[in-house]
Amino acid sequence: QHLLTFSLQDGDVQNVEEAQSRLSVLAQNQKLWSQQMYLDVGAKAIHLRDTQSQDELENYLFKSIYRCDAINTEKHFKSLLLLVCQSADLKKPDILFFNCETVKAEQIRDDIAHAVSGSSTGGPDISFLRAEREVGILNHCFNDIEIFMGKLQQTAEAATVLNQRKKKKKRSKKQNLLTAKARPPPEEEFIDIFQKFKYCFSLLARLKSTISNPSSEELVHHIFKPLDMMVRTTGGPALGASVSSPALTSSAVSLLQDNLSEEERQLWTSLGPNWTLPRSQLRGPVAPYTPVFLDGWKPEASRADGQVWEDPVDSQHKHEALRVQQVVRNTSNPSSATTTSDRLYSCTYDFIARNSSELSVQHGETLEVIQSSSTQSKAS
């Protein structure tokens, strides 16, 4: 059953998360008009066909498939298939939802991924796909921070009521409940949220050219308010300052340096080098970090063609390290900056390495070809 199609080009929604939320609301209010159809995975494309006439209603080439996923968390549909595809005549993709009854969404997803990975037509430009995924991660970090702030607010309110009742000598069951509610969350929960603040800063810097209304700069000010509340609740900056992982990227440090108000800057600097210095300037190793979200959500691990996504902040650290190496090389040998200019190339699209002999790059990055042959080149 085809349930709904949202157009990103027409501005129906801004991202997949908003589309799924809208779908859920429409299903709740019984305002969905589904259409039975066949989804045929062909040799080079996905074909949507009418169940009676077998006429083709729509087709999407494999190279136009940005995302294919099975969703099992939607309460109105036990097996929901998500497709993000772009027709040749559109500048932005569509988001399609299917309710899978005869064949489960997981099997269809796997069949499409297998077909795309084995196709010689190649995959789509992954810029939109990568940004969509990373915005989803950022939004879930924001959600967890907001939930934790709500928990701290409830704790503070319970503590206030409890203090007002301290004059009473008798201890009631209601007062015992208030005592439990007034007890602050365990330290590990505070650390988890401090880590998500740091992760957010690096994501906001990475997505600076992608997101707007609000922009990365505006969102920085937005999340400094709950960060201040966290520091106050923990009795000062000591606990937050001890959180070394994840390390901030250089671009995150620059974003904060360029945009903080004087009051925000004081809070930021009070948290010490783990918050004010990028990983390249920290002493000793920094433990790896993967965010775990309160609602159990996980970003898709691989693309429709089977290639595995890299953690966005880890990826940014690697790209920044490569740029530093290039600067150091040119600084140590100034003449090479001019003699090798004919070997410098600017990346025109994103690419994720498929094996150890390939290099992941981002649109706009500069690469130097240090070794070349008729069949392949080696760059840094």
Cα 298 from Cα 136, distance rounded (Å): 10
Predicted confidence (pLDDT) at residue 194 exceeds the cutoff of 50: yes
CB 126 within 8 A of CB 91: no
Cα 311 from Cα 132, distance rounded (Å): 14
CATH T-level topology, domain 312-379 = SH3 type barrels. (2.30.30)
Q: How do the domains of the chain map onto residue ranges?
A: 2-124, 128-143+190-281, 312-379
Cα 38 from Cα 35, distance rounded (Å): 10
Predicted confidence (pLDDT) at residue 176 exceeds the cutoff of 80: no
pLDDT of residue 119: 67
Residue 337: band (very low, low, confident or very high) from pLDDT cuts 50, 70, 90: very low
Entry pTM: 0.65
CB 63 within 8 A of CB 49: no
pLDDT of residue 211: 85
Does residue 93 or residue 149 have the better pLDDT? 149
Helix axes 127-164, 187-206, angle to 10 degrees: 150
CATH T-level topology, domain 2-124 = PH-domain like (2.30.29)
pLDDT of residue 191: 97
